[in-house]
């Protein structure tokens, strides 16, 4: 992998980390997208959260700006409609049941050395890699 | 409250830009990263590594602070128990992530492309989150009844 290929992932990662850092030091909260999404819809038991809504709106606008002016990326999504639905349901239900996703457990949880997040991150990374292995190399693609 | 919402929007903006320029928003890239025995693309390890630098510094600073800038206290979970819901949830999430290559942040960010695949996935994800809400409130009601 060339030096140039590292600039994008590293700078993108730094921005995501900066977002998590500011969210902690300004609002005192975990920048976890699954929790923020549930709170934006009022599914955490405390009503609709303006903070969750603001964060989600920010992601959408930030992504739109980046797609338009910074990196003209074309998304490659090859999953069938059924697979998209099953995957979406699993990700939605699983992240709420497990109290977090890649951002909440992965970025914030590992940074604060939370034992729960370390276990969750290890599990979802391994399970996701095993899933890809089975789909691609055992089943031969879905 | 206005400052807090503004801070949320700012953090969301940085997050959204980060997801797109790192290409974490691209399912093909994520699946290639997860495909460790195939044509492995390690670039997303640098996204994670890069993200951990500022966030680790912030969590270290937090230890010397009593409150965040715009709130009276920190709302960081204190739970340290590794329980069954945590493990089961992580397994289900890993399965879904490995099947499609989208996790919640990229699922939201990809919506702005207007692609039907992104809309279908995000809608199913919202349904999954709502289903958890229903299931957990039922469980709470049952516990109260006993």
Query: Average pLDDT in the A117-126 region?
Result: 98
Contact A16 B22 (CB under 8 A): yes
* Residue A1 clears pLDDT 60, i.e. is over it: no
Q: By the 8 A CB rule, do A50 and A44 touch? A: no
A26-36 b/e with 16+ CB inside 10 Å = b?
A: bbbbbbbbbbb
The per-residue pLDDT for A4 is: 58
CB A96 within 8 A of CB A34: yes
Q: What is the pLDDT of residue A82?
A: 97
- pLDDT at residue B143, as a whole number: 81
* pLDDT confidence of residue A2: 59
What is the mean pLDDT of the segment spanning B45-53? 97
Which pLDDT score, from 0 to 100, does residue A140 have? 83
CB contact under 8 A, A24 and B55: yes
Q: What is the mean pLDDT of chain A?
A: 95
**Closest Cβ opposite residue B18 in set A12, A137, A142:** A12
Q: What is the model's pLDDT at position A114?
A: 97
The reply to whether A48 touches chain B by the CB within 8 Å rule is no
* Res A3: pLDDT: 60
Instruction: Give the closest of B7, B37, B73 to A22, CB-based.
Output: B7
Which of the four pLDDT bands, split at 50, 70 and 90, describes residue A119? very high
pLDDT at B42 (0 to 100): 93
> Residue A47: its pLDDT value, please?
92
- Closest CB to B16 among A58, A83, A89: A58
For chain A, percent helix, then strand, then coil, each to nearest 5?
75, 0, 25
Kindly list the distances between the CA atom of residue A70 and the CA atoms of A8, B45, B65, B93, in Å, as whole numbers in the listed order: 11, 21, 36, 30
Q: At what angle do helices A81-97 and B116-145 cross, to 10 degrees?
A: 40
Whether B90 sits inside 8 A of A52 (CB atoms) is no
Residue A74: per-residue pLDDT: 87
Query: How high is the pLDDT of residue B144?
Result: 81
- For chain B, what is the mean pLDDT? 95
**pLDDT (average), residues A20-49:** 96
Per-residue pLDDT reduced to its tens digit, B59-92: 999 999 999 999 999 999 999 999 999 999 999 9
Q: Name every chain B residue with its beta carbon within 8 A of the beta carbon of A57.
A: 9, 12
Identify the domain containing residue B64 by its residue range: 2-145
With an 8 Å Cβ cutoff, are A95 and B104 in contact?
A: yes
Q: What is the pLDDT of residue B100?
A: 98
Q: Which residue has the tokens 């009601």?
A: B141
Instruction: Please check the confidence at residue B32 and state whether its pLDDT lies above 70.
Output: yes
Q: How many domains does chain B have?
A: 1
Token match 């999954």: residue?
B128
Band (B16; pLDDT cuts 50, 70, 90) = very high
Report how far residue A8's alpha carbon sits from residue B40's, in angstroms, rounded to the nearest whole number.
17
Give the number of other CB atoms < 10 A from CB of residue B111.
Answer: 19
Secondary structure class of B145 (helix, strand, coil)? helix
Query: A100 — phi, psi (to 5°)?
Result: 160, 165
Distance CA A21, CA A103 (A): 12
- For residue B139, name the pLDDT band (cuts at 50, 70, 90): confident
- Could you give the angle at which helices B84-100 and A81-97 cross, rounded to 10 degrees? 160
pLDDT, mean of residues A46-71: 96
Start-to-end CA distance of chain B, whole Å, equals 39
Q: Which residues contact B116 (CB under 8 A, 6 or more apart)?
A: none
């Amino acid at each position: 992998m060339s030096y140039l290929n590292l600039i994008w992932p590293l700078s993108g990662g730094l921005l995501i980390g900066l977002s998590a850092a500011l969210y902690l030091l300004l609002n005192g909260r975990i920048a976890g997208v699954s929790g923020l999404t549930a709170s934006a819809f009022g599914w955490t038991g405390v009503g609709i959260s303006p903070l969750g809504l603001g964060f989600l709106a920010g992601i959408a606008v930030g992504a739109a700006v980046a797609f338009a002016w910074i990196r003209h990326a074309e998304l490659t999504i090859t999953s069938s409609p059924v697979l998209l639905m099953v995957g979406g349901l699993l990700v939605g239900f699983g992240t709420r049941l497990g109290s977090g996703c890649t951002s909440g457990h992965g970025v914030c949880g590992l940074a604060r050395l939370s034992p729960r997040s370390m276990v969750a991150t290890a599990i979802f990374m391994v399970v996701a890699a095993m899933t890809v292995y089975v789909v691609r190399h055992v089943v031969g693609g879905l | 409250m206005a400052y807090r919402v503004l801070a949320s929007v700012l953090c969301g903006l940085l997050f959204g830009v980060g997801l797109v320029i790192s290409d974490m928003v691209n399912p093909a890239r994520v699946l290639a990263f997860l495909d460790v025995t195939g044509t492995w693309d390690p670039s997303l390890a640098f996204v994670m590594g890069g993200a951990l630098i500022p966030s680790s510094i912030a969590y270290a600073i937090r230890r010397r602070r009593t409150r965040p800038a715009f709130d009276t206290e920190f709302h960081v979970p204190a739970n340290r128990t590794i329980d069954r819901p945590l493990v089961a949830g992580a397994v289900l999430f890993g399965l879904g992530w490995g099947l499609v290559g989208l996790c919640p942040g990229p699922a939201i960010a990809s919506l702005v492309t207007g692609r039907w695949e992104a809309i279908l996935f995000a809608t199913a994800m919202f349904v999954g989150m709502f289903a958890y809400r229903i299931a957990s409130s039922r469980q709470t009601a049952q516990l109260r009844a006993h």
